[in-house]
Structure 1
Amino acid sequence: MPVTSQPLGRRERNKQEKLDRISAAASELFAEYGVEDVTTQQIADKADIGTGTLFLYAKTKGELLLLVQNAHYAEALQRGRADAETTPDALGAVMAIVRPIVECNRTQIDNGRFYLREMVFGDPTEPQHSAALSIVAQTEEAIAAILDREKPAGAGDAATAARIVSAIMFVSMAASVNAGLETEALERDIRTQISLLIPR
């Protein structure tokens, strides 16, 4: 007998509707002004809720940024996976995954760097932080699958190599010295580093 999902009750629908408003408000304000220049009061006002209600969904601006960026990061990873499927060589396929993530992170550079700091140093028990780490794990799994499938010379253990690729990508995006780099230049630098790990 097929399992059918129960429709959401009124309370759950109201909670989801508030969460959607909060996400939309935070996303718009962060994109326009940057996370550092936006207050939680501004987000609450734009979402048409009280600040007390806002804090039921996210305790800090960092958590709000994770909420917003996690959705964008997940979409970028999905696009990258699709592109990687049609890319024949291992390095090109790995870069097909990396490229949309870098572009997503660099849409608003300060927000992207803040997001990465929050991922690394944020509260791991917080649900949005946990979701961010889950997306990182999915990214590493996708890269490991490419390396395992292609088995390029010198790749070694695919899972370990994928963690190294992930570290290269995140450190490169977060580094202060790279904040002024154009996205294409950053992608070339990441590709150069990864190519030492995954020779053609």
Structure 2
Amino acid sequence: MESRSGTQGRRERAKEDKRRRIMDAARTLFAEHGVGGVTTQRIADRADVAIGTLYLYAATKAELLILVQNQKFADAIETGLTAANAAAGRGSDTIDVVLALVEPVVACIREQPENGRTYLHELVFGDPLEPHRRDGLTLSLRLEEGITGVLSADPAINAADAGTRARVVTSIIHVTTTATVHLHTALPGILDQIRQQVTAVLPRTAHAA
């Protein structure tokens, strides 16, 4: 007779396998068709699970998108933090360090513009207590704290103002990456727009080493 712990272990493995299949299916379909071109039923079919099973992991398509994008967003932030540390170690000026941090994040958001715009919209305007949104907001805070750290290291920036300026920078990123006017702008153009705006809100002495 199989032990209770063995049965629970098998169930957990089966649960994790279904979650992985759902995530893989959603990630692929969202990337290929955009969030507007995919239904939850199509994702369930691709993952080979019942629609009711899919809803155990995400109650709506928006939540499923957030779940998928959170993983990508987290990886992009970690890549950006590593790049920022490397840029700071080379003696780069504050603007370049900030751009090194945010470039992977912007690239993540713009990889599929519709998905990125929907993701950020859902984080800002959705229920902050929903677990997947809460995780996404935590990631946004990690990005903001990373930018705050970069700005705090600049002697031209008052440490008490660094957090406020970081929030301005994240707002610039949000608006520039999601604005309809930039919908068809390539990544280099988006980054150039962000650089210009960030440069305008930081002290002039912070622009050069």
Q: TM-score, normalised by structure 1?
A: 0.92
Report the counterpart of residue 20 of structure 1 in structure 2.
20
**Inter-partner Cα distance in structure 2 for 1:150 and 1:13:** 49
Report the counterpart of residue 174 of structure 1 in structure 2.
178
Report the counterpart of residue 3 of structure 1 in structure 2.
none
Displacement after TM superposition at 1:12 (Å) = 2.5
- 1:192 counterpart letter in structure 2: Q
Task: Report the more deviating stretch, 8-17 or 86-95.
Answer: 8-17
- Alignment of 1:34 with 2:38, yes or no, is no
Report the counterpart of residue 145 of structure 1 in structure 2.
149
**Inter-partner Cα distance in structure 2 for 1:141 and 1:153:** 15
Task: Report the more deviating stretch, 28-37 or 8-17.
Answer: 8-17
Report the counterpart of residue 98 of structure 1 in structure 2.
102
Mark the runs of 5 or more structure 1 residues left unpaired by the alignment: 1-7
**Inter-partner Cα distance in structure 2 for 1:98 and 1:152:** 21
CA RMSD of aligned residues (A): 1.7
CA contact (8 A) 1:172 1:178 kept: yes
Structure 1 stretches of at least 4 aligned residues deviating more than 6 Å after TM superposition:
none
Aligned counterparts, 1:101-116, within 5 A: 101-116=105-120
Displacement after TM superposition at 1:152 (Å) = 3.1
- 2:123 counterpart letter in structure 1: M
CA contact (8 A) 2:30 2:115 kept: yes
> Kindly, what percent of the aligned residue pairs are identical?
45
Task: Summarize deviations over 1:76-114 as a string: whole Å, max 9, x none.
Answer: 111111110121221111111111111111111111111
**Inter-partner Cα distance in structure 1 for 2:69 and 2:47:** 17
- 1:58 counterpart letter in structure 2: A
Residues 155 and 185 from structure 1, CA distance in 2 versus in 1: closer, same or farther, beyond 3 angstroms? farther
Mark the runs of 5 or more structure 2 residues left unpaired by the alignment: 1-7
- 1:37 counterpart letter in structure 2: G
CA contact (8 A) 1:90 1:152 kept: no
Displacement after TM superposition at 1:9 (Å) = 2.7
CA contact (8 A) 2:80 2:102 kept: yes
Displacement after TM superposition at 1:166 (Å) = 0.5
CA contact (8 A) 1:44 1:54 kept: yes
Report the counterpart of residue 161 of structure 2 in structure 1.
157
Report the counterpart of residue 195 of structure 1 in structure 2.
199
Residues 123 and 96 from structure 1, CA distance in 2 versus in 1: closer, same or farther, beyond 3 angstroms? same
CA contact (8 A) 2:152 2:158 kept: no
**Inter-partner Cα distance in structure 2 for 1:192 and 1:104:** 20
Would you tell me which structure has more helix in proportion to its own residues?
Answer: 2
Tell me, what secondary structure is at the counterpart of 2:153?
helix
